[in-house]
């Protein structure tokens, strides 16, 4: 009995020693965890400091970017002022040297007639449906026709399946397949039929709008064609007058020089001539005589062609 008791005691002592060893190991690990926690805390502090530094750098970059933009704008303004002075000096030199004055403002009555014809043709064209609207109408019609085609296709399948159901034995494979086809095709036919009904109204309205527009186009085709021809001829005449002035190195009007410069640029000369011709055409069409502002004042209220033309030309002239 004492031997068993001694054995149990030794066994407990052995287990106690193992527990103490595990406890010591756990304490060591807890110490390591505490060290890791301290290190993690330090790392988090470093991250916060880096985030603060990054925020400061971003602020400085934003301020620097604003300063750079301001410097660029100041430089552009100074360059424009310098360019204007150079143009004035060039004009004085040309005038002192006996350069002829380019007359871009005296308009032949025939040219005014061309401008009125071109403007009338444009106004007639503006009463027609634009291309994107005609395409939208065509799309409505195609959607309706597609729904009708799908409906009719599935109706044909219903009829075909019904014929098989009426002629084949109920136990046949064809009969069972026809049952499935009949149900599916009938559901699809009803679905596309409902869709076609919803699209019928917009499609009819689209067809009516296109038919009316086609009729109007046919009736106004001659006026539109006359307007196009008049516009092309007027542009040709104005371009020729400008080309002649440039060829003889004539002194161009100040309203022209302020927006397009005294001479065509070495690059994009063709584009420059196109824009200059459009400015001349605008002045002829609307009787602009302002000697300082090329396009005159913008219309006080919206006038379809004139407002849009003035806006587009103003935008294009910023490039020069």
Q: Tens place of pLDDT for every residue, the chain, 320 residues?
A: 545 555 555 665 565 555 556 656 655 655 555 555 566 666 677 777 877 888 887 777 777 666 666 666 666 655 555 555 555 555 555 555 566 888 999 989 999 999 999 999 999 999 999 999 999 999 999 999 999 999 999 999 999 999 999 999 999 999 999 999 999 999 999 999 999 999 999 999 999 999 999 999 999 999 999 999 999 999 999 999 999 999 988 989 999 998 998 888 888 899 999 999 999 999 999 999 999 999 999 998 998 899 999 999 999 998 87
Q: Give tens-digit pLDDT for 176-205.
A: 999 999 999 999 999 999 999 999 999 999
Instruction: Write the CB contacts of 30 (distance below 8 Å, at least 6 apart in sequence).
Output: none
Nearest to 48 by CA among 40, 36, 59: 40
């Amino acid at each position: 009995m004492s031997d068993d008791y001694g054995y149990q005691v030794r066994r407990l002592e052995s287990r106690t020693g193992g527990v103490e060893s595990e406890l010591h190991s756990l304490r060591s690990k807890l110490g390591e965890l505490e060290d890791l926690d301290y290190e993690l805390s330090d790392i988090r502090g470093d991250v916060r400091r880096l985030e603060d530094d990054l925020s400061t750098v971003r602020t400085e970059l934003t301020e620097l970017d604003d300063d750079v933009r301001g410097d660029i704008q100041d430089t552009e303004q100074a360059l424009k002022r310098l360019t204007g002075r150079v143009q004035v000096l060039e004009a004085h030199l040309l005038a002192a040297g006996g350069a002829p004055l380019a007359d871009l403002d005296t308009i032949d009555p025939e040219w005014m007639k061309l401008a009125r014809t071109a403007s009338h043709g444009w106004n007639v064209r503006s009463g027609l449906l634009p291309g994107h609207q005609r395409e939208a109408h065509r799309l409505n019609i195609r959607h309706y026709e597609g729904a009708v085609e799908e409906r009719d296709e599935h109706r044909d399948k219903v009829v075909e399946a019904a014929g098989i159901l009426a002629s084949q034995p109920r136990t046949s494979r064809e009969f069972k397949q026809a049952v499935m086809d009949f149900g599916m095709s009938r559901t699809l036919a009803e679905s596309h039929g409902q869709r076609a009904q919803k699209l019928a109204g917009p499609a009819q309205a689209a067809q009516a709008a296109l038919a009316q527009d086609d009729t109007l186009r046919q009736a106004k085709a001659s006026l539109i064609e006359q307007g196009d021809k008049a516009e092309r001829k007027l542009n040709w005449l104005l371009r020729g007058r400008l080309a002649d002035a440039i060829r003889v190195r004539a002194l161009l009007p100040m309203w022209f020089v302020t927006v397009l410069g005294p001479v065509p640029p070495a690059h994009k000369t063709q584009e420059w001539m196109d824009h200059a011709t459009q400015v001349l055409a605008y002045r002829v069409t609307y009787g602009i005589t302002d000697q300082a502002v090329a396009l005159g004042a913008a219309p006080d209220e919206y006038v379809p062609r004139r407002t849009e033309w003035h806006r587009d030309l103003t935008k294009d002239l910023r490039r020069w």
